[in-house]
Structure 1
Amino acid sequence: MKSVVIGTGSIGFRHLSVLRNDGQAVAAVPKRAERGAELRGLGFIVSDSLADAARDGATRAIVASDTRLHEADTLATLQCGMDALVEKPLTSTLAEARRIRVAANAGRNRVFVGCTLRFSESLRQFRSWLPRIGAVHSVRIEAQSYLPDWRPNRPYRESYSARADEGGVLRDVIHEIDYAGWIFGWPAKVQATLSNLGRLEIAAEEAADLFWITPSGVSVSLRLDYISRPPCRRMIARGELGTLEWDGIRSRVALATPTESEEFISTQARDEMVLAQDLAFLGAMDDPHLATLDDALWAVAVCDAARASSVSRCEEPVCPFDS
């Protein structure tokens, strides 16, 4: 056994399934004893604790527990001498993320964050085609969906998404913040408005609007919400030579300039994207598409700055690292 998955809800079970189907020896470390019995019944390897898994030879851990547990589970992983891939977001707050960074830097183990869209064929095509539109001056990103549709068989008000201290669309849809920083550069300041219109009757924010200017002068605006149907996930970049658009629902990239147009459509399934990320983590960990611990701190810092900005109604600084 080389790896374990901590937390066996919907995303943890997906990691377990894609890795087992690929022939990887992976064990589950469930949070509930009854869940362990269910998984054993389905033929999965189950470890009673992280320490047991480490004694059985596990050196890598995928942390897929609820966000409020990420800090404790990641620190426990590091204490057991394992490298960690933590589901997004790394933590609920920047203070928690910084404590993980201190622990990781004190040891010899590495921490990554699960930003699977970096392994999306269509998003990677968007990134590779970006130079074709010349100097980019503006980017618009939209990720809008309806929270009750996410897991129809589970009451959404009982999910972590609904809780103000660990959920909300800003943390839940942090993928968009991550790939905006990955592709265009991280901001020094953020202006944001978070809102709860009462449509879903949850404590966390239902919508977030963010704006920033990148170090190279690109204006980036994002709309994230839990209250829209049908779902959309798209990004459009405008540059001196044309426009480039990514449709994350259709896995489509479209290039348009005054002299040419081109389209790319990927047939990649979601499980293929998750597996590509997991194998990169279980391998040499040198794949440049893996989101690093520093990337994770940047994304959480943007979230913290956005929350502060929504209260102050001013731009707020993004400060991922201790000064």
Structure 2
Amino acid sequence: MVTDTFLVIGAGSIGKRHAGNLAALGEKVELIPYRSFDHAAIGKRNDVAGMVIATATPIRLDLITLCAEKGWPFYVEKPLAWTTEQVDALYDAAAPVAHRSVIGLMMRYHPAIRTLAARDLSNIYSFAFEIGHDVRQWRANWSFADSYASDAEGGGVLLDLCHELDMVHALFPDAAVGTAQSLDHADFPRVDFATRVNLSAPLGTVAMDYLSPVSIRNGSLRGREQVIDLDLLHPTLRIQDGDGDRTQDFTFERNDMFLGLIADFVALSKGAAPSDNPLFPRFDRMRGSCDLVASAWQARQFVGQVGVDFAAKP
């Protein structure tokens, strides 16, 4: 009896995380570095249950096309693309398996975001989300200059930390990009180190940066009948409304979000029902979020530079 295998393409930190989570779920998994990927040999296999695409963003069209041709569901890491033309091409290629596939927007499994999504937000007139962290602190022995993040095409903070834009889309599906201002670096022209995106319907901002000496990830929503503040790192949700002023604390591990999404992907790939998460990022339902990210990237206007010494430790 042949046991179907989940292929994880891309053996960086996120690929290793997905492979470990699949194994923890009892699935057979094969982790393949992209530089070792043999398209012809993989295309001849008949034991593939699905593919996790954890490669750099610019090289995913070939993998998604292969999955569509073979009828394999896929889990593709975020961001999907950085231009609307690329989003078009990827969705066209994915069409045969889009309803059985997902995109790795795991913040939709954060309990605070799920709690927010369950509330009536129709009276919210403004919002703000912010995420920041010194990129030099990310991983030991990691070089920004040698990473995907330093590439003007497919790198930069807006794409790297695009979960916040997806959260906006999950909570306010009609939100649209207005303007975006960015700061780059003399050594990395047109790579955004800090970006602020202005949106409408409702009025809002999303700010992200590679610079903050203290990790921050928070949000605020202002409505005619409620005031909401959230800290996604600790995490807590404070709500002030007609029922008073209360704070809700959440206890969970960061990997719970990755594990929840990969478990839903496994279920979907096997024809079973995923969990009851209404924010489940099934690929065919995520076009609006992918377009929002691409629109924000294309709207960037570089208005200054940052002076970060990448040779120095933070």
Same fold by TM-score, threshold 0.5 exceeded?
Answer: yes
Contact 2:64 2:94 in 1 (8 A): no
**Distance (Å, rounded) in 2 between the aligned partners of 1:26 and 1:127:** 33
CA distance in 2, matches of 1:270, 1:51: 35
What secondary structure sits across from 2:234 in the alignment? coil
Cα deviation per residue 1:261-301 (whole Å; 9 max; x = unaligned)? 22222221122210100010110365533223355433343
Partner of 1:263: 247
Alignment CA distance shift 1:134-1:106 (3 Å): closer
AA aligned opposite 2:244:
E
In angstroms, what is the RMSD of aligned CA positions?
2.6
* Residue in structure 2 matched with residue 26 of structure 1 by the alignment: 29
CA distance in 1 between partners of 2:115 and 2:40 (Å):
38
Distance, in Å, in 1 between the alignment partners of 2:139 and 2:287 is 28
- Contact 1:94/1:297 (8 A) holds in 2: no
Query: Which residue in 1 is equivalent to 2:193?
Result: 206
Structure 2 unaligned runs (5+)?
304-314
2:276 counterpart of 1:289? no
Give, in whole Å, the separation in 2 of the partners of 1:278 and 1:107.
17
1:118, CA displacement in angstroms?
Answer: 0.4
Amino acid in the other structure paired with 2:55: S
Distance in 2 of aligned mates of 1:245 and 1:309: 28
What is the distance in 2 between the residues matched to 1:292 and 1:95? 21
Contact kept, 8 Å, 1:6 with 1:28, in 2: the verdict is yes
Query: Normalising to structure 2: TM-score of the pair?
Result: 0.84
Who is 1:120 aligned against?
110
Cα 1:122/1:139, change in 2 over 3 Å: same
Shift, 1:74, TM fit: 1.6
Write the distance in 1 (CA, Å) between the matches of 2:171 and 2:40: 35
1:235 aligned residue: 219
1:93 and 1:300 in contact (8 A); partners too: no
Measure the CA separation in 1 of the matches of 2:98 and 2:20. Answer: 29
- Which residue of structure 2 aligns with residue 15 of structure 1? 18
Q: Which residue of 2 aligns with 1:84?
A: 74
Matches within 5 A, 1:53-68: 55-68=45-58
2:94 to 83, 104, 109: 104
TM-aligned CA deviation for residue 98 of structure 1? 1.1
* Aligned position for 1:309: 299
Letter in 2 for 1:19: L
Asked whether the 8 Å contact 1:161–1:169 carries over to 2, the reply is yes
Name the amino acid aligned to 2:88: R
Counterparts of 2:18 and 2:43, CA distance in 1:
17
In structure 2, the CA distance between the partners of 1:109 and 1:159, relative to structure 1 (3 Å rule), is same
Verify the 8 A CA contact 2:49 2:73 in the aligned structure 1.
Answer: yes
1:43-192 matches, cutoff 5 A: 51-52=41-42, 55-106=45-96, 110-128=100-118, 130-131=119-120, 135-192=123-180
Q: 2:234 aligns with which of 224, 228, 250?
A: 250
Alpha-carbon contact 1:141-1:222 (below 8 Å) kept = yes
1:60 CA drift (Å): 1.4
